[in-house]
Structure 1
């Protein structure tokens, strides 16, 4: 399936999928005393523990401020036949991401932008690399030296989740969104390297030398070509996934 990837503009905030529009796991530090997020966490809601802290007001305010002060901070994947947004990737200077300071492998490098999360709607998970390509292309054009991300290396077993909840949510499961932490495997497959190791929450880094975005895409395309059986290569091309990438406007870190 071919997806279009474009930068998110503030006026298109309402087009984001529900979870991407509401979850403020990265954007709001509960210890900062945000009234909106405190109400959500302690208000006896019926969400599951994995849903994480939610506040659409805080998410839109964070996005609005960052777009104004720094520039594009989200790439969205759009299904062209319906115009529906089916994925979003958020990235930011690390100082604008309060949750990052709670990770055991913090801080993020001073010369790096932090990729916080990539969320794809069900059925579109295999297209997440399209969003990663767009993020890399945008940051390379803006002269950013590196992008870093925190990965999650554990499975969903109770020990891993208990440790993550203790480290990132001060023991409150409702203050942690496991779904918004990128799998370490996804990051390493894209070319990120571990720079601060941890059994569950490593920090990874991708150096953005000039042309790196092209290099990673070419290498990945060649790997797919080698790994694809001849029969699949001859199959109807309409059914094959297509990776699209797009760059956005320039702004300095």
Structure 2
């Protein structure tokens, strides 16, 4: 089984599972995002967002290919490029960190080490750019697939709570630690990215 991670580009946007390829939950502020969905412009706004981030900051995602077929992705960027992040009560993301926006593996590909490879690839990329950590907004009451990852699973893979909240804690993963994860944490990563793919669709909050 051949597997590789490739950079998310405009040409690769179609490789994201539906409806992730046109979801603008993170890429726009709540009001603008809702309007884009109502007007049928969400897919164009997603493409515009990706184009701007690629131009100004560089690669902001990876697509996982297994035997040349896309089976998952991870999206990340500084919070300045993630308008929705300011809407959370535990914002802002620390300046020395990049935000883990979202990640997904399609059904049937969890438990194969892909989650570990995805996050470690992001960690190495972010370290090379001079950042010290990855931060994410978790969902402490996670009940099913959505645009946020479950907080308890983020904690299980090494994230630490830096700003608590009953629903949306902000969590942080120090990158130096990430690159020396042991097997139990690597397996927990697979579980983290596997648990969110029970349903293929993303749901807004």
Q: How does 1:121-200 map to 2 (within 5 A)?
A: 121-126=106-111, 127-156=114-143, 179-200=146-167
Distance in 2 between the 1:98 and 1:154 partners?
23
Which structure shows the bigger proportion of residues in helix conformation?
1
Instruction: Kindly state the Cα deviation for residue 3 of structure 1 after the two structures are TM-superposed.
Output: 3.5
TM-score, normalised on structure 2?
0.80
Higher relative contact order (CA 8 A, sep 6+): 1
Most deviating of 10-19 and 144-153? 10-19
Tell me, which stretches of 5 or more residues in structure 1 are unaligned? 41-53, 158-177, 225-253
Aligned residues: 185
1:27·1:96 contact (CA, 8 Å) conserved in 2? yes
Distance in 1 between the 2:123 and 2:18 partners?
25
Instruction: Kindly state the Cα deviation for residue 137 of structure 1 after the two structures are TM-superposed.
Output: 1.6
Q: Cα RMSD (Å) of the superposition?
A: 2.4
Distance in 1 between the 2:123 and 2:153 partners?
15
Instruction: Kindly state the Cα deviation for residue 34 of structure 1 after the two structures are TM-superposed.
Output: 7.7
Per-residue CA deviations over 1:69-89 (Å, capped at 9, x if unaligned) read: 001100111112xx2111111
Instruction: Kindly state the Cα deviation for residue 200 of structure 1 after the two structures are TM-superposed.
Output: 1.6
Instruction: Kindly state the Cα deviation for residue 122 of structure 1 after the two structures are TM-superposed.
Output: 1.2
1:140·1:213 contact (CA, 8 Å) conserved in 2? no
Distance in 1 between the 2:130 and 2:179 partners?
15
Distance in 1 between the 2:130 and 2:72 partners?
25
Q: How does 1:98-117 map to 2 (within 5 A)?
A: 98-117=83-102
1:105·1:196 contact (CA, 8 Å) conserved in 2? yes
Which structure shows the bigger proportion of residues in strand conformation?
2
Q: How does 1:1-253 map to 2 (within 5 A)?
A: 3-32=3-32, 36-40=36-40, 55-80=42-67, 83-126=68-111, 127-156=114-143, 179-209=146-176, 212-216=177-181, 219-220=182-183
Per-residue CA deviations over 1:192-230 (Å, capped at 9, x if unaligned) read: 100011122110011223xx34312xx136886xxxxxx
Distance in 2 between the 1:104 and 1:78 partners?
36
Most deviating of 29-38 and 132-141? 29-38
Per-residue CA deviations over 1:92-148 (Å, capped at 9, x if unaligned) read: 110111111111111111221111100111112333332212111211122211110
TM-score, normalised on structure 1?
0.66
When residues 223 and 116 of structure 1 are mapped into structure 2, their CA distance, relative to the original with a 3 A threshold, is closer
Q: Which has the larger radius of gyration?
A: 1
Match of 1:244 in 2: none
Match of 2:200 in 1: none
